């Protein structure tokens, strides 16, 4: 019988809280026994939420690693640029690891973490949660079952809606490489590049080319007559799609990004939030005032695989509606679907005398169906990921969805090379 896995949360923010909350529905599988975070508000909130004793709470990873090992695993939900520096000491201490994506923000970090994990013999799983959604698992099963034959082409895109684009990637903490140390393609779409590599596995990518730019934002594109603080001096605020009042008062999605991951700030009265947006909160400034350091708001890449197949992916920020589309064409048929609707069409070639024959079947995956953990964030992927990770930690073979560090190295390396291609205008060999 599988044992309960004990975990230490390194980084007590939104993602670690999401993963660790599996404990409340499956207490026999997971128990949080330690916390690491320098922020006293977050520490207090998470300590009370998970009932962690004082002696198991630490400001920094170094303090944790001075203690003898007292848990099975670490769940690392720190910011992107902190992943490697906080992960390595815990691996060297003997902990296995569930690590948030992107697990590294450059090639040097990626290779450093890989070397340590190999040297320590650690199990490291990367949080590519979309592999665990019923939609993408269904697509992968069609490939594994041979329904499409050999893949000729895989086309994917991600449309980032204007609200999420602004909250996270214009005003937010992922707006530039100078702030979060990661380009937008890595910060937003490493999920998608991972999915492409997963669908094509075991075929490996061999080269990539990429194009993109900052088309909408930056001070150079600021609308004429716009003010500097939306709710104070801007005559365009009522007609502007990126008004701070619309995004952070009227709309309550991603509040943790606006209010610094602080439960106290999140629960402030509306009048106090208005005052902060009018004075000191940076999210109250005009969206076009932020220097994004040349970070893109749209990017396309083309991947050439070792067997001659090709893949394309486009990330487009500022869309009216968030969508992820996928279209796979193989030698026996094709599959075309939309993640958000949980629906796809499978067309299988059935040659006839008039050369027009194919059968078409429509599928409605219904993400909220009967799969354990199918509800919740990322279409059920968050819970599915954690449950699968706990099985792996109990000695079971990795599932088809499990993203080991070596799996994720392929997609991360592709993203790093795509970004180099975009900047240099050259095709990069992988």
| DSSP labels, 184-243 | HHHHHHHHHHHHHHHHHTTS-EEEEEEEEE--S-SGGGPPTT--SBHHHH-TTTTT-TT-
Distance, in Å, from the CA atom of 13 to the CA atom of 39, rounded to the nearest integer, reads 10
Cβ atoms 41, 267 nearer than 8 A: no
Does the structure show a pLDDT above 70 at 374?
no
CB-based burial, 281-311: b 16+ in 10 Å, e otherwise = bebbbbbbbbebeebbbbbbbbbbbeeebeb
pLDDT tens for each residue of 66-99: 999 999 999 999 999 999 999 999 999 999 999 9
| DSSP bridge pairs for 429 | 207
Domains with residue ranges and CATH for the chain: 5-122 (3.40.50.720), 130-216+295-372+400-429 (3.30.360.10), 219-289 (no CATH)
pLDDT tens for each residue of 248-287: 998 877 777 787 666 677 778 899 999 999 999 999 999 9
Does the structure show a pLDDT above 70 at 7?
yes
Does the structure show a pLDDT above 90 at 429?
yes
Least reliable range by pLDDT among 20-29, 45-54, 255-264, 402-411: 255-264
Please report which confidence band the pLDDT of residue 358 belongs to, taking 50, 70 and 90 as the band edges.
confident
Number of residues assigned to the chain: 430
Cβ atoms 254, 167 nearer than 8 A: yes
**Per-residue pLDDT averaged across 366-384, rounded?**
54
Per-residue DSSP letter, 106: S
pLDDT at residue 424, as a whole number: 97
Q: Around Cβ 59, how many Cβ atoms within 10 Å? A: 14
Share above pLDDT 90 across residues of the chain, in percent, rounded to a whole number: 82
Reported pTM: 0.92
In the block, which residue shows the tokens 């990626």? 110
Average pLDDT across the chain, whole number: 92
pLDDT at residue 263, as a whole number: 65
Distance, in Å, from the CA atom of 364 to the CA atom of 133, rounded to the nearest integer, reads 13
Residue 195 burial by Cβ neighbours in a 10 Å radius (0-12, 13-18, 19+): buried
Reported as type and span, the H/E element at residue 346 is strand 343-349
Cβ atoms 15, 91 nearer than 8 A: no
Determine if residue 378 is left, alpha or beta; phi over 0 gives left, psi from -120 to 50 gives alpha, anything else beta. left
């Amino acid at each position: 019988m599988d044992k309960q896995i004990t975990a230490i949360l390194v980084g007590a923010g939104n993602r670690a809280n999401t993963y660790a909350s599996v404990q409340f529905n499956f207490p026999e599988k997971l128990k949080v026994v330690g916390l690491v975070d320098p922020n006293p508000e977050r520490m207090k909130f998470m300590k009370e939420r998970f009932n962690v004793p004082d002696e198991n709470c630490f400001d920094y990873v170094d303090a944790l690693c001075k203690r003898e090992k007292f848990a099975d695993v670490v769940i690392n939900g720190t910011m992107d640029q902190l992943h490697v520096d906080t992960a390595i000491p815990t691996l060297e201490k003997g902990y296995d690891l569930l690590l948030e994506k992107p697990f590294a923000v450059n090639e040097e970090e990626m290779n450093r973490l890989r070397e340590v994990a190999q040297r320590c013999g650690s199990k490291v799983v990367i949080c590519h949660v979309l592999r665990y959604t019923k939609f993408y698992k269904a697509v992968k099963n069609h490939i594994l079952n041979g329904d499409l034959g050999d893949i000729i082409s895989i086309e994917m895109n991600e449309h980032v809606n204007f609200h999420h684009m602004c909250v996270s990637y214009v005003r937010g903490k992922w707006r530039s490489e100078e702030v979060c140390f990661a380009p937008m393609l890595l910060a937003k779409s490493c999920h998608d590049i991972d999915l492409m590599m997963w669908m094509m596995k075991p075929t490996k990518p061999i080269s990539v080319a990429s194009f993109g730019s900052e088309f909408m934002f930056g001070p150079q594109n600021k609308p004429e007559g716009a003010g500097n603080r939306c709710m104070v001096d801007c005559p365009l605020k009522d007609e502007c799609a990126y008004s701070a009042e619309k995004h952070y008062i009227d709309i309550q999605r991603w509040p943790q990004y606006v209010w610094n991951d602080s439960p106290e700030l999140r629960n402030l009265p509306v009048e106090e939030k208005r005052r902060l947006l009018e004075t000191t909160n940076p999210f109250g400034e005009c969206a076009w005032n932020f220097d994004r350091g040349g970070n893109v708001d749209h990017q396309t890449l083309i991947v050439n695989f070792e067997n001659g197949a090709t893949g394309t992916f486009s990330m487009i920020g500022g869309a009216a509606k968030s969508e992820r589309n996928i279209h796979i064409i193989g030698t026996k048929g094709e599959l075309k679907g939309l993640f958000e609707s949980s629906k796809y069409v499978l067309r299988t070639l059935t040659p006839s005398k008039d050369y027009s024959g194919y059968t078409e079947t429509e599928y409605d995956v219904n993400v909220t169906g009967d799969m354990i953990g199918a509800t919740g964030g990322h279409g059920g992927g968050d819970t599915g990921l954690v449950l699968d990770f706990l099985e792996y930690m109990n000695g079971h073979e990795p599932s088809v969805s499990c993203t080991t560090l070596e799996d994720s190295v392929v997609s991360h390396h592709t993203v790093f090379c795509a970004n180099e291609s975009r900047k240099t205008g050259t095709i990069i060999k992988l």
